[in-house]
Amino acid sequence: MVCFRLFPVPGSGLVLVCLVLGAVQSYALELNLTDSEKATCLYAKWQMNFTVRYETTNKTYKTVTISDRGTVTYNGSICGDDQNGPKIAVQFGPGFSWIANFTKAASTYSIDSISFSYNTGDNTTFPDAEDKGILTVDELLAIKIPLNDLFRCNSLSTLEKNDVVQHYWDVLVQAFVQNGTVSTNEFLCDKDKTSTVAPTVHTTVPSPTTTPTPKEKPEAGTYSVNNGNDTCLLATMGLQLNITQDKVASVININPNTTHSTGSCRSHTALLRLNSSTIKYLDFVFAVKNENRFYLKEVNISMYLVNGSVFSIANNNLSYWDAPLGSSYMCNKEQTVSVSGAFQINTFDLRVQPFNVTQGKYSTAEECSADSDLNFLIPVAVGVALGFLIIVVFISYMIGRRKSRTGYQSV
């Protein structure tokens, strides 16, 4: 843990900030805000990270996770007064900031709103962003907490808006601290009330990779994307996710009955986005190549696992499901899309058409090699060739034997 020295914040006294640096790709922050009399007025300890999806200059989409941003400042954090409520203000990197506002009622206080700003002009984080500038996402929360209670939420909380996913966990916060002493009475969030959540413990001790229990074939779902009143993308597939995180492997079948689809269609790119209660987004990005074929170019995923951890992976350099424009791609046999060493997708009963859909129906399909009838001809041809070879050998043997007998008779 790295602790920064006490330093003054205008109108708020002193701030003690500790930044925990570790293997977790997120902010682990602890803030103890004091008033002019050096009494604690606001206490907070929490972890968070952000995932932003943005459009690139070549009209494709990328996803970036914003985690460790180096030097952090807290200018603008205040205890609150008669005019303004308490506020936590965090700044990190060039043009990145996060603000949490609090309000007070007769017997409660509220986490009123959260604001996150990010800078697509930062070439380190967004080197190829189409639009440059600072964008802000505001979320109204209105989480009410009894006065003089410490709010706790170990469970993962996720906010998603405008292609930004915010993740929070291991949250402890108390605004309007009474008599400078943080309360020992805890008010739990709803998720912590309904389940026992153990704090996340990260260790560097190596552990063997567990082998996931094989799962049955997933049910195939049909997904579509509309452009106005017309269907512009069709996909039918059973999806099975293979995830390895912290040396623990798991297999997850996607249930199409609880999965929703959105997306977009453009002349040279198309996006199918799937989401559910556990999957924040699973993106399939298609592109056109050589003006006459399409293929799966990119897969991005952000989801949380059963242990509350967040799993995020992106790869925009894939080449799967290649077929001519104006047709669909079909593969009934099991296929594997290898997104990374830690994430693969098994597909079953796959058919997809991301471009040139007419009347909401699939066009003629180009089959994968595994489905092609030619595969059945190979063993047949081998069998015929072997049979022919046996016949030739047998005939040659019989002819040789007859000649041998004839020779003996002449003598």
pTM of the model: 0.48
Q: Which of 4-8, 144-148, 151-155 has the highest mean pLDDT?
A: 144-148
- SS3 at position 63: strand
Task: Kindly state whether residue 281 falls inside one of the protein's structural domains.
Answer: yes
- Claim to verify: residue 42 and residue 143 sit in the same structural domain: yes
Task: Kindly state whether residue 385 falls inside one of the protein's structural domains.
Answer: no
- Claim to verify: residue 65 and residue 136 sit in the same structural domain: yes
- Claim to verify: residue 169 and residue 249 sit in the same structural domain: no
Instruction: Encode pLDDT of 13-24 as tens digits.
Output: 444 433 333 333
Instruction: Encode pLDDT of 220-268 as tens digits.
Output: 999 999 988 899 999 999 999 999 987 888 899 999 998 999 989 988 9
Radius of gyration of the chain (CA): 30
pLDDT score for 376:
52
The CA distance from 381 to 388, in Å, is 10
Instruction: Encode pLDDT of 331-363 as tens digits.
Output: 999 999 999 999 999 999 999 999 999 999 999
**String of DSSP letters for 177-193:** -GGG---S-EEE-HHHH
Least confident window among 100-104, 244-248, 278-282: 244-248
Last residue of a domain, one of 165, 188, 211: 188
The residue type at 388: F
Task: Kindly state whether residue 95 falls inside one of the protein's structural domains.
Answer: yes
Give the domain CATH number at 253. 2.40.160.110
- Number of domains composing the chain: 2
- Claim to verify: residue 52 and residue 160 sit in the same structural domain: yes
pLDDT(194) > 70: no
Confidence label for 193 from pLDDT (cuts 50, 70 and 90): confident
- Claim to verify: residue 97 and residue 152 sit in the same structural domain: yes
Give the number of other CB atoms < 10 A from CB of residue 237.
22
pLDDT(137) > 90: yes
- Claim to verify: residue 184 and residue 229 sit in the same structural domain: no
Question: For residues 264 and 5, which has the higher predicted lDDT (pLDDT)?
Answer: 264
Task: Kindly state whether residue 5 falls inside one of the protein's structural domains.
Answer: no
The residue type at 183: S
Q: Are 215 and 181 in contact (CB under 8 A)?
A: no
- Claim to verify: residue 170 and residue 39 sit in the same structural domain: yes
Task: Kindly state whether residue 210 falls inside one of the protein's structural domains.
Answer: no
- Claim to verify: residue 358 and residue 244 sit in the same structural domain: yes
Task: Kindly state whether residue 411 falls inside one of the protein's structural domains.
Answer: no
Range of the domain at 280: 221-370
Task: Kindly state whether residue 128 falls inside one of the protein's structural domains.
Answer: yes
How far from 123 is each of 2, 54, 128, 132, 174, CA to CA, in Å?
A: 27, 13, 7, 9, 37
Task: Kindly state whether residue 50 falls inside one of the protein's structural domains.
Answer: yes
